[in-house]
């Protein structure tokens, strides 16, 4: 955040806005780190993304709409590919996947992670080389596994003893030797600025290293002729900003990697360190450059391998959010504005928009913070402390908990929320029979709907009366 861009909130907001939120000097200005790289405002305060004015775009596709900045997505994908040169970079499709995005991922030289038959279907439809697909999940069905093995998926990340037998059976029946990785839990849980090195392994994912289950899982994989153990897989959390959690996890995972080499005689060729790279949702967040993260993570792994006398395995990572998150914003139309008196004499301006928890569940699910801006005009009115809320029958239906918006915010205005690309559309629901919004890709002044808006016919198609 550039010094001087924000001033301290005036007294009457003290205690009613979070400590990190500052009343902006210019409420019309974009905070660049929150937005995709082509986002800008013109002299009339109109937001442009991908060379298109948002009000013009909305005139065609209506609101709410997710606007996906193709150049930004591709450049973030390339930043991981080039920053983590020598690694395999798997884009985590669960963050957001559609046919167009799967194609961009392949074109930019990334591999792709899927975790369901639906995601695999989209990937294959997009023409993704199956050898470059990783398959996750703690309860893949026999049908899903058969389809994945049959398609030639490059690696299946096994997550339970049951699954090891299931994959081995399927591979044997299909007459192939399937590459697998063993998902382990290292007792490290990382989120934002903290990590817990003694985290309970009381969770559904992975085999615990400390209990010995992870070694046992590796032993069982090695015992199957139809399976090839490629390596260990560890994913420690999400929205992580520094590498200290990876350091502890890498040490524990590499110790197991060494033990497998020594006791099973299997030198594992690969190691996957998972995803979880953080992005800026608000001015609280300060994400690191992928190249810097790569340098630090590589140093951690090579140092630990040297200490253990190991050859450095081929490394892979799985960023999702950090590639697609900032590449999308959501555009809403304001429907109503309401002043609500707060204790202490301040007021909060409740701005209701035409979407909400059905298109972004993260504020309700994770108490996630977002920011927003007036996207359709400039304003010279003093900013007010606003809460942007959705239209659903749920008081937790919040879009942006705290943000300063121009005091004359009014019905018909467009509001854009940056950073909604990850876990927005992909976790969207039909709550209240909402029709899920379209994803509109923009680039060089042209818009292309890559996921269309749902229709009432889509809703009724499954309701057979």
Ligand X SMILES: *Cc1c(COP(=O)(O)O)cnc(C)c1O
212: buried, middle or exposed (CB in 10 Å: 19+, 13-18, 0-12)?
Answer: exposed
Task: Tell me the CA distances in angstroms from 139 to 249, 326, 423, one per residue in order.
Answer: 24, 30, 20
Give which of 179, 165, 193, 278 is closest to 233, Cα–Cα. Answer: 179
Alpha carbon distance, N-terminus to C-terminus of the chain: 55
Q: Which residues pair with 24 in a beta bridge?
A: 6
Other Cβ atoms within 10 Å of 57 Cβ, number: 22
Closest CB to ligand X among residues 26, 286: 286
**Binding residue (CB under 6 A) for ligand X from 17, 63, 160, 238:** 238
* Three-class DSSP category at 40: strand
* 132 among annotated binding-site residues: no
Task: Tell me the CA distances in angstroms from 428 to 93, 95, 151, 259, 420, one per residue in order.
Answer: 15, 11, 28, 43, 11
Other Cβ atoms within 10 Å of 311 Cβ, number: 9
Binding string to ligand X for residues 257 to 296, with x set by CB under 6 A, is what? -----------------xxxx-------------------
Q: Which residues pair with 263 in a beta bridge?
A: none
Binding segment for ligand X among 6-14, 91-99, 331-339, 366-374 (CB under 6 A)? 91-99
Strands 207-208, 178-185: parallel, antiparallel or unpaired by DSSP? parallel
* 362 among annotated binding-site residues: yes
| Cα(64)–Cα(375) distance, integer angstroms | 13
* 177 among annotated binding-site residues: no
Closest CB to ligand X among residues 9, 274: 274
The catalytically annotated residue of 305, 329, 372, 393 is 393
Closest approach, Cβ 238 to ligand X, in A, equals 4
Closest CB to ligand X among residues 164, 414: 164
Please answer whether residues 101 and 73 qualify as being in contact, where contact means their C-beta atoms are separated by less than 8 angstroms: yes
DSSP string covering 91-144: EETTSS--HHHHHHHHHTT-EEEE-SHHHHHHHHHTT--GGGEEE--S---HHH
**Binding residue (CB under 6 A) for ligand X from 224, 235, 348, 443:** 235
Closest approach, Cβ 234 to ligand X, in A, equals 9
Closest CB to ligand X among residues 321, 387: 321
**Binding residue (CB under 6 A) for ligand X from 92, 167, 218, 254:** 92
Closest approach, Cβ 440 to ligand X, in A, equals 22
* 454 among annotated binding-site residues: no
Binding string to ligand X for residues 120 to 159, with x set by CB under 6 A, is what? ----------------x-----------------------
Closest approach, Cβ 205 to ligand X, in A, equals 7
* 318 among annotated binding-site residues: yes
Binding segment for ligand X among 243-251, 283-291, 315-323, 369-377 (CB under 6 A)? 315-323
Site for ligand X in 394-423 (CB under 6 A): 422
Closest CB to ligand X among residues 422, 441: 422
DSSP string covering 356-420: -TTT--HHHHH------EE-B----SPEEEEEEE-SSS-TT-EEEEEEEEETT--TT-EEEEES-
Strands 6-7, 40-41: parallel, antiparallel or unpaired by DSSP? unpaired
**Torsion angles phi and psi, residue 338, rounded to 5:** -140, 135
Using CB under 6 A as the binding criterion, the count of chain residues that bind ligand X stands at 16
Binding string to ligand X for residues 320 to 359, with x set by CB under 6 A, is what? xxx-------------------------------------
Task: Tell me the CA distances in angstroms from 211 to 192, 231, 251, one per residue in order.
Answer: 27, 19, 16
Binding string to ligand X for residues 192 to 221, with x set by CB under 6 A, is what? ------------------------------
Q: Is 111 a catalytic residue?
A: no
Closest approach, Cβ 311 to ligand X, in A, equals 24
443 binds ligand X (CB under 6 A): no
* 276 among annotated binding-site residues: yes
* 194 among annotated binding-site residues: no
Enumerate binding residues for ligand X (CB under 6 A): 92, 94-95, 136, 235, 238, 274-277, 318-322, 422
Q: What is the set of active-site residues? A: 393
Binding residues for pyridoxal 5'-phosphate, by number, are 276, 318-321, 423
């Amino acid at each position: 955040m550039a010094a001087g861009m924000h001033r301290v909130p005036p007294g009457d907001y003290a205690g009613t806005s979070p400590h990190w939120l500052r009343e902006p000097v210019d409420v019309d200005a974009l905070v660049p780190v929150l937005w995709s790289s082509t986002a800008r405002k013109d002299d009339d305060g109109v937001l442009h993304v991908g060379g298109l004015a948002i009000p013009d775009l909305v005139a065609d596709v209506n609101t709410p709409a997710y606007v996906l900045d193709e150049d930004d997505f591709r450049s973030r994908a390339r930043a991981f590919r080039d920053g983590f040169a020598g690694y395999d970079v798997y884009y985590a499709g669960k963050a957001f996947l559609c046919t167009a995005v799967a194609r961009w991922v392949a074109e930019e030289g990334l591999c792709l992670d899927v975790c369901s038959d639906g995601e695999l279907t989209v990937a294959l439809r997009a023409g993704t080389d199956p050898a470059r697909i990783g398959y996750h999940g703690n309860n893949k069905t026999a049908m899903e596994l058969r389809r994945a093995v049959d398609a030639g998926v490059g690696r299946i990340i096994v997550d339970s003893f049951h699954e090891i037998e299931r994959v081995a059976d399927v591979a044997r029946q299909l007459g192939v030797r399937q590459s697998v990785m063993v998902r382990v839990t290292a007792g490290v849980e990382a989120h934002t600025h903290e990590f817990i090195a003694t985290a309970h392994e009381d969770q559904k994912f992975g085999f615990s290293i400390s209990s010995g289950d992870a070694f046992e899982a590796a032993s069982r994989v090695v015992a199957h002729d139809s399976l090839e153990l490629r390596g260990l897989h560890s994913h420690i959390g999400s929205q992580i900003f520094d590498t200290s959690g990876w350091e502890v996890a890498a040490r524990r995972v590499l110790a197991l990697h060494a033990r497998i080499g020594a006791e099973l005689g299997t030198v594992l060729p690969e190691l996957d360190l998972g995803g979880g790279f953080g992005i800026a949702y608000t001015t609280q967040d300060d994400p690191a450059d992928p190249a810097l993260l790569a340098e630090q993570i590589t140093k951690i792994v090579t140092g630990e391998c040297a200490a253990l006398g190991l050859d450095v395995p081929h490394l892979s990572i799985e960023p999702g959010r950090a590639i697609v998150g900032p590449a999308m914003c959501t555009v809403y139309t304001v429907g109503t504005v309401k002043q609500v008196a707060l204790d202490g004499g301040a007021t909060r301006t409740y701005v209701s928009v035409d979407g909400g928890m059905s298109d972004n569940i993260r504020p309700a699910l994770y108490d996630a913070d977002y920011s927003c801006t007036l996207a359709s005009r400039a304003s010279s009115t003093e900013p007010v402390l606003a809460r942007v809320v959705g239209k659903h029958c749920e008081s937790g239906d919040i879009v942006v908990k705290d943000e300063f918006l121009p005091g004359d915010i009014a019905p018909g205005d467009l509001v854009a929320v940056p950073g909604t690309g990850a876990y927005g559309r992909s976790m969207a629901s039909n709550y209240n029979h909402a029709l899920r919004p379209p994803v509109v890709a923009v680039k060089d002044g042209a818009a292309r709907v890559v996921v269309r808006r749902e229709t009432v016919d889509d809703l009724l198609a499954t309701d057979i009366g």
